[in-house]
Amino acid sequence: MAVIILIFSWIFLLLNILSILIMIFFEKKDIRSIQSWILMFLLLPPGFSLYVYFIFGRGPKLNKRKIEARNFRVFNEIQNILNIKDYSEIPQDENIDTSILRFNLLHNKSAITECNDVKIFNTAYEKFEELISDLKNAKHTIHILYYIIKNDTIGNLLINTLTEKVKEGVNVRLIYDDVGCICVPKKMFDKLKEAGGEVYPFFPSYLKFINLNLNYRNHRKIVVIDGKIGYVGGVNIGDEYMSLHKRLTPWKDCHLKIIGESVNFLQLQFFQDLAYVSNHKIETEENFREKYFPKSNVTKKTYTQIVASGPDSKNYENIKSSYLRMLYNAKKEIFIQTPYLGLDESFLSALITTAQYGIKVRIMLPTIYDKRIVYRVTSSYINQLLEAGIEVYLYKGFIHSKVIVMDDDVSSVGTANFNIRSFSLNFEVNAFITDKSINSQLKEIFYNDIKNCTKVDEDYEKNKSLFIKIEECLSRLFTPLF
């Protein structure tokens, strides 16, 4: 028996070494990520560490040819319809900062849309109330993509509403992330499918809790109604987002409703994800443009760009790049609201150097956490931020907003958190807006939220227990894995 155990130990050790070599020579992971994985191999039992690596680290297991074919087919078909060149003109307006518009156009290939009406939801309740109303008024198509759809009151209200719309003759297509909904019974969607609605899991698990794409999640939240109304932001579908969770309350979030030209590009992103999860060639449908890309009659000027990122694109850190550009282009101030900080050296350096350059940087984080180890990573950065002169506020509740505001002109609201997972692993989508009115509203929300915050001072680090400091140190070692 001892000989057998020894043989298996040597086999697993060799496999661990092989995995490390794969990381170094084939996957070409970031050096900090490699270091974290090596540490994990040392700490976890042989065999189990290999399993964890192949589930969480060896990916993404994406069909590159399928993705490239999907993007080429869908994007080029829609490009012919929308005439993307019409959305490539940088406004000549001396009264606004167009630097982020230019960067997103040139670096991220994100269309510049001018005519949009953007509404900010500061609570999930406001968002759900208006979303359900808009869904009930849908005439021909409803497209929905969510990371999480809970089997609770608001989740069932959504499914029931969609089911009724299908019975009325509206085409309903719903995509959900299978990992995000891993604890949700799939029979929840049966009534919608039986009525004729289309329901697709993203990266489906073939065995419960076993998914080779577990580490790569579609974290996007997109709703497009009749090709005219779009929703994007941080709010998933669930009662907890309305502060109904016993512990995570009050819950602070931010979401957008957009009517106008930018809805076309939320629709485009939905179609690209739909093409990946189904074989339905939606672009061949009759009256395709009229149904899905109707001409907008909005005249209000709010420059808006839809920026998507994820491991399915060549420049997979698009949103991170735009966040960094906002930090480096700031002239006066930066406001950030986020539930998580899990920063690589480039982003941490950008925050610190921006503050040291004399820019006022304010970051708002939650006091209550939803994931302990991730929160310890977040809190481990606070002292470094304070030493750089960054103001840190702890919201007396849970913050789920993903918001960054630069000076008077540029802001971003979307699904991407300020951590490595969102930057490098998840499929994300944000709206970047260049508009003084939207910036003013978001800053007003931030200042109002400060009233429910504790401003962190030098006593924060002093008052930490030894146990918490140890937790932070250990958690921080694995930041690249989150």
Q: What is the pLDDT of residues 394-440, one digit of tens each?
A: 999 999 999 999 999 999 999 999 998 899 889 999 999 999 999 99
What is d(CA 234, CA 127) in angstroms, rounded to the nearest whole number?
11
Average pLDDT score, the chain:
87
pLDDT exceeds 70 at position 165: yes
Reported confidence tier of residue 62, pLDDT bands at 50, 70, 90: low
- Between residues 306 and 206, the one the model is more confident about: 306
- Asked about 255 being catalytic, the answer comes back as no
- Between residues 313 and 340, the one the model is more confident about: 340
Q: What is the pLDDT of residues 223-273, one digit of tens each?
A: 999 999 999 999 999 999 999 998 999 999 999 999 999 999 999 999 989
pLDDT of residue 19: 62
Reported confidence tier of residue 87, pLDDT bands at 50, 70, 90: confident
What is d(CA 409, CA 384) in angstroms, rounded to the nearest whole number?
28
pLDDT of residue 60: 46
Reported confidence tier of residue 6, pLDDT bands at 50, 70, 90: low
Give the start-to-end residue ranges of the domains of the chain: 2-56, 64-306, 318-481
Token reading at 197: 């609605």
Beta pairing class for 255-260 and 113-121: antiparallel
Q: What are the φ/ψ torsions at residue 439 (nearest 5 degrees)?
A: -60, -45
Other beta carbons less than 10 A from residue 142's beta carbon: 23
What is d(CA 145, CA 203) in angstroms, rounded to the nearest whole number?
13
Average pLDDT over residues 168-190: 94
pLDDT of residue 259: 98
Average pLDDT over residues 101-126: 95
What is d(CA 442, CA 254) in angstroms, rounded to the nearest whole number?
10
Catalytic residue among 143, 257, 320, 402: 402
- Asked about 221 being catalytic, the answer comes back as yes
As a residue count, the chain comes to 482
Average pLDDT over residues 92-98: 88
Q: What is the pLDDT of residues 118-148, one digit of tens each?
A: 999 999 999 999 999 999 999 999 999 999 9
pLDDT of residue 88: 84
What is d(CA 41, CA 24) in angstroms, rounded to the nearest whole number?
15
- Asked about 400 being catalytic, the answer comes back as yes
Q: What is the pLDDT of residues 18-58, one digit of tens each?
A: 666 665 555 555 555 666 666 666 666 665 655 566 555 55
- DSSP of 281-336: -GGGSTTHHHHHSPPP----EEEEEEEEE-TTSSSTTHHHHHHHHHHHH-SSEEEE
pLDDT above 90 as % of the chain? 61
pLDDT exceeds 80 at position 92: yes
Beta pairing class for 410-414 and 333-337: unpaired
- Name the CATH architecture for the domain at 64-306: 2-Layer Sandwich (3.30)
Beta pairing class for 333-337 and 360-366: parallel
User: Across 196-285, where does the E strand assignment appear?
Assistant: 198-202, 222-225, 229-233, 251-252, 255-260
Q: Which of 276, 242, 270 is nearest to 144 (CA)?
A: 270
Q: What are the φ/ψ torsions at residue 241 (nearest 5 degrees)?
A: -70, -15
Q: Which of 432, 431, 442 is nearest to 408 (CA)?
A: 442
Which of 13-17, 354-358, 367-371 shows the lowest per-residue confidence on average (mean pLDDT)?
13-17
Average pLDDT over residues 3-20: 65
- DSSP of 110-166: ---EEEEEEEEESSHHHHHHHHHHHHHT-SSEEEEEES-B-SSHHHHHHHHHHHHHH
Residue 58: DSSP 8-state: S
Which of 67-76, 311-320, 374-383, 454-463 shows the lowest per-residue confidence on average (mean pLDDT)?
67-76
pLDDT above 70 as % of the chain? 80
Catalytic residue among 221, 228, 252, 257: 221
Catalytic residue among 219, 255, 257, 320: 219
Average pLDDT over residues 433-448: 97
Catalytic residue among 177, 178, 273, 407: 407
> Under 8 Å CB-to-CB from 362, ≥6 apart: which residues?
333, 334, 335, 336, 390, 391, 392, 393, 446
pLDDT exceeds 50 at position 107: yes
Reported confidence tier of residue 286, pLDDT bands at 50, 70, 90: confident
Q: What are the φ/ψ torsions at residue 401 (nearest 5 degrees)?
A: -65, 145
With beta carbons less than 8 A apart as the criterion, state whether 26 and 58 touch.
no
What would the CATH number be for the domain defined by 318-481?
Answer: 3.30.870.10
pLDDT exceeds 70 at position 97: yes
- Asked about 219 being catalytic, the answer comes back as yes
Catalytic residue among 97, 134, 177, 226: 226
Q: Do domains 64-306 and 318-481 have the same CATH topology?
A: yes
